[in-house]
Amino acid sequence: MIHVFRVMLLAVVFTALTHAQVADERNTLRLAQVYEQAGKHDEALRYYRDLFAAKPDNSAYFEGVRRCLLALKQYTEAVALLGERIRRFPADEQLLVHRGGVYVLMEKVDSARADWKKAIALNPKNGQTYGLIADHCLNARLYPLAVEYLREGREELRAPQMFTFEIARACAMNMDFDGAMDEYLEYLRAVPQSLYQIQQQIAMFSEVIDGIESALRRTQAAVKRHSDDVSLQYLLSWLYQERKQYGEAFAVVREVDRLKNAGGMEVLRFAGRAFDDGAFRVAADAYRWIIEKYEKAQFLPQAEYHYARCMEALQEQQGVPAELNAQGSTSSGSEAMPAYRGVISLYEDIVRKHTSHPMASESQYRIGYITYHWFGDTDGALRALQGIAGNRAAVFGKADADILIGDIHVARGDLEAAITQYDAVLLSPQLDEKGRNGVRFRIAEVHFFQGRFDTALSELQPLTEDVGTDIANDALELSAMIHQYRSPGEVPLQRYAQALFLERQRKLSEADALLQQIIGEYASSEVVDLCYLSRAAVLERMGRHAAASAVYAEFLAQRGESFLRDRGLFLHAVLTEVQLNDAAGAMVLYQRLLDEYPNSPYVPQARDSIVRLRKGNS
Amino acid sequence: MKRMLPLFLLLLLVAPVRAQQNILIPMDLQQSDHLKAYGIVYWVLTRSVEVDWLLNYRGGSFLMPHYPFIEQECRVRGVAFSTLDGSTATGIIAEVEGQDSNSEVVRLEKAPKIAVYVPPNFQPWDDAVTLAMEYAEVPYDKVWDEEVLRGKLAEYDWLHLHHEDFTGQYGKFYAQFGTFPWYIQQVAINESTAKRLGYSKVSEMKKAVARAIREYVGGGGFMFAMCSATDTYDIALAAEHTDICDRMFDGDPPDPDCQQRLDYSATFAFTDFKLVMNPYEYEYSDIDMTPALGGRPDADYFTLFDFSAKYDPVPSMLTQNHVNVIAGFLGQTTAFKKDLIKKHVVILGQKEGTEEVKYLHGNFGRGTFTWYGGHDPEDYQHRVGDPPTDLSLHKTSPGYRLILNNILFPAAKKKQQKT
């Protein structure tokens, strides 16, 4: 019995001691880790050393000592520690790799290479070894060395896509963008679906000029070698578009379209992007190409319509495109405006060929728009629009044709018809708030033209309340004009409104004559100031720039008390600069504005103009 | 009559008669565009017309001979001015030079040649000083490490630095932006430059640049620094013989005893500072007094100190302003801890009731340095990627005026110290 009791007692004591030892070791490890995390590596090292001395086989303790030695830059001791470990575990290639890493920190690259050679020799097919070596090289900023080992690993493992991104990044960090691009391109060829990933990687150095130029150069070369590779072509077209080289991009996209047998869809998508980016010429070429090559495609009407839009945009930008010079239009446009007839004929073709297609409605609208805005042919525009307006609103939810018809009624002088039209548009459920406000402003304008100022003001009032809207400024301006100039008598303002109405109808000569009359008859009225400025604007529209300049000069000479003098000076300066091409004369006028009206709201623009003209002269 | 003669002669001696007209550019609240006013003065100096800076007179106004081209240019740039006849101008000069007034006339003689230390891929809108100079239309050249190490600074009178990092830790943006393309490219460009110039680490190259700048200032150059270019500059000088960069910046850990190995005798302005060694913390040392939880813009102001214009013309020039309490603003280095500033450094502006020094000035060798905490005086908390400040909306900014005072200060003729 006593014997059993003694054995049990011994067992209890032994267990207690063991537990105490284990708990002590755990606490020491915890302490070491806490110190290490707090950056107190010297303290952590002390505890790790104790643990390691007690259990030299424990790799966690060994690693703790190793890490702390490195953190404290005690490289010699770290080398010795690793050396000892290597002797005990000669088959562990990671130890050799780590010791090589320490040699690199000591700038003993030859010693590092020797260790790494041994490590690799232990197991040449272990990819992790090469990756670990590369990590050490990258940490030490030895980028070419990292690339060397990664490439060696890739060759040894016969895995051509292995380490692509690591090698490419190392090359890029070393500013070897050609090297980086070669890696990405090879990868892309092997893994075509990685295009987006490759684009993201290239974006990492696309801000560097050498980087983006290398990307383009290498991709061009790769495409030349592998012209049937769609991903490479995609990448090349993306690079061109990043650099806004749409012409070159178009050539590549055509090739992509052919390779993918896309039937023109790739080019159609590209053309849309080019148009949105303002590259109208290239977009036009792209649409033209589709039209010529895919006569029977389902999207042909879209291509034809957008081609016509491109021509219209080019016309506005640069004058008549060469392709349109020989074309004529069947529309009864004014022979005084030969421009745009080619564009109209394109739209007319679409309407004729694709009668029930939505693009026919769009084209018809553009015909009406151009006929009115550029030709001033109100009858022709009405004919073009009235046929599609109802359909457009009901089927496509667009009120633009209806609104334009209202504008045309105003231009024809038929204000009652205009009011009726605008009222009808207001009832349209498709009209959004912005459109609604635009129509309400037009109605207010009509009342103004008719001399019904109170009605006009009541229409304008709600539009001036929300100053965040686009129309608020226009509404405020018209309201202010009515309030300012309707007293002491409304007649001069009514006559002036009539003159503006004539101008809206493009009856410029009559408008000019009426303005002159008002100036003569109501010399004491402040409305005369407006008449002078409007008269100059009308003469400018008529191309009579010298006459317009004379009117401004007369205004400045005759109307000494007018508070619109600064506006007159500014407009005169702009006319002199832009239409009369007299930079010196314009500068004198701008300077006069600064001298005489230093607090004028036109002063900042005048200053900018002076600076611009000075730069132009230097 | 006989009694009048000595008085008359005295007047002739004290106040030279200005027969011609003069232009006065006021710099008090009457001025519509203080910032462009500095540009006008600079522009006038480039045309070999000397300008009088009237320290402490109407906010530090400028007086110059009248020429129509100057008047015209003021109008073009929107700078308020008035034309004075000779006797009025003479009266003002007499008032400013009077013994009873704390004001002084400083003659500005020539436009200083200005260099700005900026990286090649730098956008000028990100830097308050270049923003100010662009707005004020003051020309400047850009220099970077290569130019500095090749001795190009000798060609300039004034060197400006903004939020650069002379410690080689890439602005300590690693934690937040370490994977961003701009950060990666910045690292690649810097490392490539260091390698090309023969330095094993970027931090070594930056130390060399810091030494070159010290040589430049010691030789008589003027240095202006803002934001992190202030404390990192001194830290780099102090850490000449030790490594304070962690492995993500230079590939190896910092020296364990780097704090003990700092040499404060090498610095310009700061001493006894403690480094912040954590690479993930957006701070270099305890010099900076950025509030931990972000400041309160409505309660953050600093006060400019008054100096005797007659006896301390340099600090007076640097603190000319139309207000003397200025709205504060944060930066990577917002303000300097007073305890850590060397005793010989002149404190120009400080947050009242605190240890936060915002603006300081000192001498080194034959040159001077002026340091200003914070990033952008009109953007309380400017972050990476924020749009640039539009100075046309802040034409009368007192905070920006302090920057521009430094541009004109090197143009001042050295005056004999009054005894």
- Supply the pLDDT for residue B7: 52
**Does residue A584 have a pLDDT over 70?**
yes
The SS3 assignment for A464 reads: helix
**Does residue B5 have a pLDDT over 60?**
no
Residue A611 touches chain B, beta carbons under 8 Å? yes
Which of residues B132 and A4 earns the better pLDDT score? Answer: B132
- Supply the pLDDT for residue B4: 58
Which of residues B294 and A446 earns the better pLDDT score? Answer: A446
Residue A591 touches chain B, beta carbons under 8 Å? yes
The alpha carbon of residue A174 is apart from the nearest alpha carbon of chain B, in Å, by: 7
Among the partner residues B76, B277, B278, nearest to A610 by beta-carbon distance: B76
- Supply the pLDDT for residue B63: 97
- Supply the pLDDT for residue A391: 80
Q: ∠ CA A216-A218-A222 to the nearest 5 degrees?
A: 115
**Does residue A338 have a pLDDT over 70?**
no
- Supply the pLDDT for residue B381: 87
Q: What is the mean pLDDT of residues B120-147?
A: 85
Residue-wise pLDDT for A85-142, tens only, equals: 999 999 999 999 999 999 999 999 999 999 999 999 999 999 999 999 999 999 999 9
**pLDDT-based confidence at residue B122 (cuts at 50, 70, 90):** low
Q: What is the mean pLDDT of residues B104-116?
A: 94
- Supply the pLDDT for residue A548: 96
Judge: B277–A39 Cβ closer than 8 Å, yes or no: yes
- Supply the pLDDT for residue A397: 79
**In chain B, which residue's Cα lies nearest the Cα of A71?**
B253
Chain-centroid distance of CA A479 in Å reads: 38
Judge: B121–A140 Cβ closer than 8 Å, yes or no: no
Residue-wise pLDDT for A237-247, tens only, equals: 999 998 899 99
How far, in Å, CA of B267 to CA of B255, rounded? 20
Bridge partners of residue B369, in order along the sequence: B223, B362
Residue-wise pLDDT for A136-162, tens only, equals: 999 999 999 999 999 999 999 999 999
DSSP B20: S
Residue-wise pLDDT for A264-287, tens only, equals: 999 999 999 999 999 999 999 999
Q: What is the mean pLDDT of residues B310-328?
A: 94
Q: Are strands B22-25 and B82-84 parallel, antiparallel or unpaired?
A: antiparallel
Handedness of CA A52, A56, A61, A65 (dihedral sign): positive
Judge: B182–A207 Cβ closer than 8 Å, yes or no: yes
- Supply the pLDDT for residue A541: 93
Which of A175-189, A198-212, B31-45 is predicted with the least confidence, judged by mean pLDDT?
A: A198-212
- Supply the pLDDT for residue A156: 95
Which of A48-62, A67-81, B174-188, B394-408 is predicted with the least confidence, judged by mean pLDDT?
A: B174-188
Q: Three-class SS string for A503-548?
A: HHCCCHHHHHHHHHHHHHHCCCCCHHHHHHHHHHHHHHHCCCHHHH
Q: What is the mean pLDDT of residues B207-226?
A: 96
pTM, to two decimals? 0.81
What are the chain B neighbours of A179 within 8 Å (beta carbons)?
none
How far, in Å, CA of A558 to CA of A104, rounded? 88
Hey, what's the torsion of the CAs at B188, B191, B193, B197, to 10 degrees? Answer: -160
- Supply the pLDDT for residue B375: 92
Hey, what's the torsion of the CAs at B43, B45, B50, B51, to 10 degrees? Answer: 50
**What's the whole-number average pLDDT of chain B?**
90
For chain B, the residue count is 419
- Supply the pLDDT for residue B202: 96
Tell me how far CA of residue A6 lies from CA of A3, A12, A69, B21, B316, in angstroms. Answer: 5, 10, 48, 118, 93
Which of A221-230, A429-438, A544-553 is predicted with the least confidence, judged by mean pLDDT?
A: A429-438
Which of A11-15, A168-172, B94-98 is predicted with the least confidence, judged by mean pLDDT?
A: A11-15
**pLDDT-based confidence at residue B293 (cuts at 50, 70, 90):** low
**pLDDT-based confidence at residue B417 (cuts at 50, 70, 90):** very low
Q: What is the mean pLDDT of residues A495-522?
A: 94
**pLDDT-based confidence at residue A388 (cuts at 50, 70, 90):** confident
- Supply the pLDDT for residue A12: 76
Q: What is the mean pLDDT of residues B82-102?
A: 93
**Does residue B419 have a pLDDT over 70?**
no
**pLDDT-based confidence at residue B179 (cuts at 50, 70, 90):** confident
- Supply the pLDDT for residue A325: 62
Judge: A205–B255 Cβ closer than 8 Å, yes or no: no
Which of residues B16 and B356 earns the better pLDDT score? Answer: B356
How far, in Å, CA of A341 to CA of A377, rounded? 12
**What's the whole-number average pLDDT of chain A?**
91
Residue A173 touches chain B, beta carbons under 8 Å? yes
Residue A175 identity: M
Rounded percentage of chain B residues whose pLDDT exceeds 70: 92
Contacts of A488 (CB under 8 A, 6+ apart): none
**Does residue A3 have a pLDDT over 90?**
no
Residue A109 touches chain B, beta carbons under 8 Å? no
**pLDDT-based confidence at residue A336 (cuts at 50, 70, 90):** very low
What are the chain B neighbours of A204 within 8 Å (beta carbons)?
181, 184-185
Which of residues A1 and B106 earns the better pLDDT score? Answer: B106
How far, in Å, CA of A504 to CA of B222, rounded? 64
Q: Are strands B158-161 and B222-226 parallel, antiparallel or unpaired?
A: parallel
